[in-house]
Structure formats: structure tokens, C-alpha cells
Structure 1
């Protein structure tokens, strides 16, 4: 399995869920590498922004920022190695994140199957950008889909970020909740269209302010909460940013 690498090893860590429906819940995060999108504001760009690719990023203007050498930011682990790490962590809520985890459904299905054999109490969430339809085996193990579709502010063309069949699969799936990153009124208008076009239950929608600092999140907080009240959606913050700052592995 291809995992993101942090401090020379696979990025697997015990923290709390910082966003969405289960915000504040102690969780283990397994961060997969690779993604099929390339969001300009992505805070995990070390999973896809490889040397030689043409993608632009907001960090391009930062002194010293450069694209990542693929071989240095991917850790390939066997199933047994991952299980060995997870068994020593006193937590059964596992969040598969990325990157885009659904690019590795076969490997992740095998991981979930093995963990359930060890302990039937494991709960599995997966983060996904909502462009890939899960296969039947993967879907059977997952308890919750945290679907985070990308808007035009991500700089991904609509034809690759908005897949109609995938949207309809998740909008009908009882295990799916939706999370949208909001920065402007234009973003809200786009979310309203998506909710309408794909018949998404507004009670399953979480709107989250865009920002990688406490100050940026707080600046949008009151405005976005009022919009949630009007639309009948949920508000979610980025709790991990308030607690730890914009850091990896926490």
C-alpha cells in the first residue's frame, strides 16, 4: 500500500477527528499517498504535487517551496506492517485519508477485513473527494464516507472534479455526509447548485470555512454559521488547526 511519508516513516497517527460529523472524536489516521485531483490550496500536496507535473499551488509564491520528489514522500508497506503499527494504538476509530484513498480500494479493503478479524469493534471512515465510486467490497466495510467535493475555487476543471454518477451514488448512500470548503459567496452559490442538482439532503451537509490559521478560520466563522442557519446545513470548523496549528501528523 502506498502511504504518505512523515519524518521518514508512514504517516499513521493517533489524534482527534478535526472536521465534520465526528469532530472531536479520538481517531487513528492512515494517510494514503496519490490523488486524482490537484487543488491549488491543498494542505497535503506532498501526496500528489510531484516534480515534473504542471500543477500550480498557492505555495508556489513561498520562498523555498518546490515540488516533491515522489520517491521521498511515498512509503510502501505490506498489510502486516500496517496492522502491526495499528494494533499498538488504543483506538478503534480508523480514518482513511489522503490523498485520495479510493485510488487504493483493493489494498484498503484487505486492511479493513484483517482488522475486523482482530476486533469487530473497528469503525472505518474514509475521506474522499467524491469523484470515484466505491466498489462493493470497500463499501461493505466502510461505516462512514466523509465526502469533500471540490469547488471551482480548487482550480480543478469541472469535468474532473464533478462526476455525476459518483455524486448520485454518495447522495443516495446512507453512510455518506458531505463537507464543503467555503471562502466566498460564490462558493456558497456553487454548493446550493450541487445540493439541488444531486438531491443532497442539507442535513447531511457540513460547511467549513477555508483557512489554515486560527485567524483565517475565525474571520469567516460568524458569517458562515449564519449561512448554515439559513440553508439548514451543519457548520464544521477545523478543530485540529485551532489546537495544533497547520501541522502534519497531529
Structure 2
């Protein structure tokens, strides 16, 4: 399995879930590498923004920022190696994140099956951009889908970010919740349009402010909370940003 690399090691860490339905829940994170989208504000661009690719990123304006050398940011591990690492961490709540984890769902299916064989109390949730339909085998093992569906503010084209069959799969799956990153008030029109189009229940929707600092999140907090009250959706912050700042592996 291709994992993101952090400080010369695979990016596996014990923290709390900072977003969505499971916010505040102590969890182990396994960060896969590779993604099929290229969000302009992505805070894990080291999983896809490789040298010689044409994708823009808001960090392009920062002095010293450059695209990533693929060979230096991917660590390949076997299922057995990952299981050995996870068994040493005193937690059974596992978040499969990325990148886009469902690009490697065959490998992740093997990982979940191996961990359940060790302890049936493992809980698995996966982050996903909602463009890839899980296999039946993957679906039978996962407990929760955190569908971070992308809006136009991500700078991905409609044809890339909106896959009708995948939207329909997740909107009809009782394990799925939706998380939309909201940058401006006009984004709310896009969210409500998608909810109507794919019959997404407001109770399964979490609206989250875009931002990688506490100040930027707080700027959007008041009006976004009011929007959630009006729409009947849930509000989610980015708790890990408030606690740790915009850091990796926490």
C-alpha cells in the first residue's frame, strides 16, 4: 500500500478526529498517498501535487513552495507491516484518509480484514471525495464514509468532482455522511443544489468552514452556523487546527 511519508516514516499517527460526525473521537489515522482530484486549497497536497504536474495550488504564491518529488513522499508497506504498527497503538478507531483512500480500496480491504481478525472491536471510517464507488467487499467492512464532496471552490472541473453514480451510491448508503468545505456564502447555493439533486438528507450533511488557521475558521464560523440552522444541516469545525495548528501528523 502506498502511504504518505512524514519525517522518513509512513504517516500513521494517533490523534483525535477533528471534523465531521466523529469530531473529538480519539483515532488512529492512516494517510494514503495519491489522489484523483487536485483541490487548490488542499492541505495534504504532498499526496498528489507532484513535480511536472500542471495543477495550481494556493501555496504557489508562498516563497520557497514547490511541487513534491513523488519518490520522497511515498512509503510502500505491506498489510502485515501496517498491522504491526497499528497493534502497538492503544486505540481501535481507525480513520483511513489521504489523498483519496478509495484509489487503494483493495489494499485497504485487506488491512481492515486483517485487523478485524486480530480484534473484532475495530471501527473503520474512511475519508473520500465521493467520486469512486466502493466495492461490495470494502462496503461490508467499513463502518462510516466521510464523504468530503468537492465544490467549485476546489478548482476541480464538474466532470472530475461530480460523479452522479457515486453521489447516488453514497446518498443512499446509511453509513455515509457528507462534509462540504464552505469558503464563501455563495457556496451554500451549490451545496443546496447538490442536496436537492441527489436527495441528500440534511441530517447527514456537515458544513465546514474552509481555512488552515483558527482565525480564518473563526471568520466564517458565525454566518455558517446560522446557515446550518436555516438548512437543518450540521456544523463542523476543524478541531485539530484549533488545538495543534496547521501541522502534519497530529
Task: Name the SS of the counterpart of 2:177 in structure 1.
Answer: strand
Q: 1:160 Cα deviation (Å)?
A: 0.7
Q: 1:71 Cα deviation (Å)?
A: 0.1
| Residue in 2 that maps onto 1:123 | 123
Q: 1:186 Cα deviation (Å)?
A: 1.5
Aligned equivalents of 1:21, 1:127: Cα separation in 2: 12
| Residue in 2 that maps onto 1:86 | 86
Give the TM-score normalised by the residue count of structure 2: 1.00
Task: Name the SS of the counterpart of 2:186 in structure 1.
Answer: helix
Aligned equivalents of 2:125, 2:50: Cα separation in 1: 27
The alignment status of 1:234 with 2:234, answered yes or no, reads: yes
Q: What pairs up with 1:126-205 in 2 under 5 angstroms? A: 126-205=126-205
Task: Name the SS of the counterpart of 1:196 in structure 2.
Answer: helix
Task: Name the SS of the counterpart of 2:20 in structure 1.
Answer: coil
Aligned equivalents of 1:132, 1:32: Cα separation in 2: 15
Aligned equivalents of 1:53, 1:183: Cα separation in 2: 25
Aligned equivalents of 2:100, 2:193: Cα separation in 1: 24
Q: 1:224 Cα deviation (Å)?
A: 0.4
Aligned equivalents of 2:52, 2:68: Cα separation in 1: 9
Aligned residues: CA RMSD: 0.4
| Residue in 1 that maps onto 2:105 | 105
Aligned equivalents of 2:27, 2:43: Cα separation in 1: 19
Give the TM-score normalised by the residue count of structure 1: 1.00
Show structure 2 runs of 5+ residues with no match: none
Aligned equivalents of 1:44, 1:8: Cα separation in 2: 16
> How many residues in Structure 1 have an aligned counterpart in Structure 2?
250
Q: 1:28 Cα deviation (Å)?
A: 0.2
Deviations 1:143-194 (A, max 9, x none): 0000001100000000010000000000000000000000112210000000
| Residue in 2 that maps onto 1:43 | 43
Deviations 1:113-144 (A, max 9, x none): 00000000000000000000000000000000
| Residue in 2 that maps onto 1:68 | 68
Aligned equivalents of 1:116, 1:79: Cα separation in 2: 13
| Residue in 1 that maps onto 2:24 | 24
Aligned equivalents of 2:186, 2:89: Cα separation in 1: 42
Aligned equivalents of 2:220, 2:87: Cα separation in 1: 40
